[in-house]
Structure 1
Amino acid sequence: MSEAFTLEGFDLDAFVAATLAEDLGPDARDVTSEAVIPASAIFEGVMDSRDAVTVAGLPIAAAFFRALDPDVEIELLVRDGDRVAAGTDILRMKGKARAMLTAERSALNTVQHLSGIATMTRAYVDAILGTGATLLDTRKTIPGLRVLEKYATRMGGATNHRMGLWDAAMIKDNHVAVAGSIDAAVRRAVEAGIARIIVEVDRIDQIEPALDAGATHLLLDNMKPPTLRGAVTLIGGRVPTEASGGVRLDTIHAIAETGVTYVSVGRLTQSAPAADIGLDFASA
């Protein structure tokens, strides 16, 4: 499989270099590998998943190994976005042992974290199949990792919400409190020429003022399914609707069945556990 990996807004070489520099420290040394492993040693290794997961981040893992040994032989055995059973081999490599062992932790950390996100995301996507709703992620990401984490949610089947503060307005309760009212806040966004204006409402009586002022998307915050259903009926398809707030795997199906366009889930990037993926080496 091809290992070419490009992602808008993400510099793979810089990420790999910074991550390895963090691990190698000011002297750029892996003292354990230097002391224990002969410089000429060659290791073959296989990365495998110990649990059933949705894979994400394999091309990035390959980049870590290649950064320390440009001649390493790497074979990606599955693709990002693939679901694999427990015990599946997902990557095979053969290269200089010191380099492989030095890059191991950085490569595994990345694949475990991103595959954990993709796996949780896939479970949520599966839970709303047939409802017509689309799963969205949020901006609840680890600083510096947003582009990668949102990539992982896509690999799990979700759709990215805003990438940041720049690509849409999202008027929340604190914005409304400072602006004075929902309609005042929305009108100012309209006057500023913002095309996408998402407005958070947590009461039914906020819906019409938001729409009248020019909202293009309503985020229905922390509403129970009966209230959501009534809100969707009132909105009547005038703008897309999004259910948000405290959504869990055991509640998302009932929420999605209310007719909302989207359901957003912060825990996809905020709380996903790392996938159990390991790397075992064997002498060539």
Structure 2
Amino acid sequence: MQTPPYLTPESLTTFIRTALAEDIGDGDHSTLASIPADAHNRAQLLVKDAGVLAGVELAHYIFREVDPELRVQTILTDGTRVQRGDVAFTVEGRARSILTAERLVLNCMQRMSGIATQTAHLTSLLAGTKTRLLDTRKTTPNFRLCEKWAVLIGGGVNHRYGLFDMIMLKDNHVDYAGGVRQAIEATHQYLAQTGRKLEIEVETRTIAEVQQVLEIGGVDRIMLDNMGPTQLREAVALVAGRFPLEASGGITEETIAEVAATGVDYISVGALTYSVKSLDLSLKAF
């Protein structure tokens, strides 16, 4: 998997330090009160659910930030299909450090593994089609880095990371601008004035709006929002490969295969990151 641009040493360090500060405050007093400073122990990451493992690499970063002398031995890597009873890794070193890092490691890995598991499942339903599964910006504030990363681990594709790295003219943009043409033309003027080079995607709600985009041009992708299979097939035939097409809106496990069969290039599913069930994991002394 190619490292995405948002996974930099700086972004990882900032995320981990902020999360640790939130949890530790002025000290892990339970650990400081009960565990001698010189105590050394080990723990293992136990899998208690079936699914796709995610967050192992992140766990390494977290342990290293808490205590560079902790030693992590990886047994299972990110993207591995796991079963109850599997051991993902072991960690050894200062007992205080292991206990202080424990909850952040588990919080990240459990949610990331849940997202990766659901992504892998929905991706499997697209087998035999050209359609790729996209995530959205419907992410947990300050946890987007981990959630987007988990989608990649599960075999999905990241859409734009934020508001800054792509222009997406959604329904409200189109309506506020006065229509599809006005929104696209204003966007071209903005890019020319600011010297920015950003991909442009336009959301369409009807076949008539798709036709308008085709007449205007100057975009990189067309989103087909809340269209049924009949409309989607009509849009695919109308566009005829001139622009990549993304189906979005209300797509579920039950409908995703039918949507993919219409010939769209992408399907975006916000539920990948906002309503998944976390995988049950535990860090246990042994």
Query: Do both proteins adopt the same fold according to a TM-score greater than 0.5, normalized to the shorter chain?
Result: yes
- CA pair 67-196 structure 1, distance change in 2 beyond 3 A: closer
Deviates more, 1:38-47 or 1:98-107: 38-47
Give 1:92 deviation, angstroms.
0.5
Q: 1:55 is matched with which residue?
A: 53
Structure 2 residue 249 is the aligned partner of structure 1 residue 248: no
Q: 1:265 is matched with which residue?
A: 269
Taking the aligned partners of 2:22 and 2:189, their CA distance within structure 1 comes to 46
| Residue from 104, 122, 125 that aligns with 1:124 | 122
* 8 Å Cα contact 1:138-1:265 kept in structure 2: yes
Structure 2 residue 133 is the aligned partner of structure 1 residue 135: yes
Structure 2 residue 185 is the aligned partner of structure 1 residue 187: yes
Instruction: Identify unmatched segments of 5+ residues in structure 1.
Output: 1-5
1:16-95 → structure 2 map (5 Å cutoff): 16-25=16-25, 27=26, 29-95=27-93
- What residue identity is the alignment partner of 1:199? V
TM-score normalised by the chain length of structure 2: 0.91
TM-score normalised by the chain length of structure 1: 0.91
1:81-230 → structure 2 map (5 Å cutoff): 81-193=79-191, 195-214=198-217, 215-230=219-234
Q: Describe the superposition over 1:215-239 as per-residue Cα deviations: whole angstroms up to 9, x where unpaired.
A: 3311000111121111111111111
Q: CA-atom RMSD, angstroms?
A: 1.7
- CA pair 111-142 structure 1, distance change in 2 beyond 3 A: same
Aligned sequence identity (%): 42
- What residue identity is the alignment partner of 1:267? A
- Count residues in correspondence: 275
Taking the aligned partners of 2:285 and 2:204, their CA distance within structure 1 comes to 54
Taking the aligned partners of 2:231 and 2:127, their CA distance within structure 1 comes to 22
Taking the aligned partners of 2:15 and 2:246, their CA distance within structure 1 comes to 33
* 8 Å Cα contact 1:10-1:147 kept in structure 2: no
Taking the aligned partners of 1:181 and 1:149, their CA distance within structure 2 comes to 33
Give 1:266 deviation, angstroms.
0.6
Taking the aligned partners of 2:178 and 2:216, their CA distance within structure 1 comes to 14
Instruction: Identify unmatched segments of 5+ residues in structure 2.
Output: 1-5, 192-196
Give 1:9 deviation, angstroms.
7.7
Deviating beyond 4 angstroms after TM superposition, the runs of 4 or more aligned structure 1 residues are: none
Q: Describe the superposition over 1:252-282 as per-residue Cα deviations: whole angstroms up to 9, x where unpaired.
A: 1111111001000111111122111111112
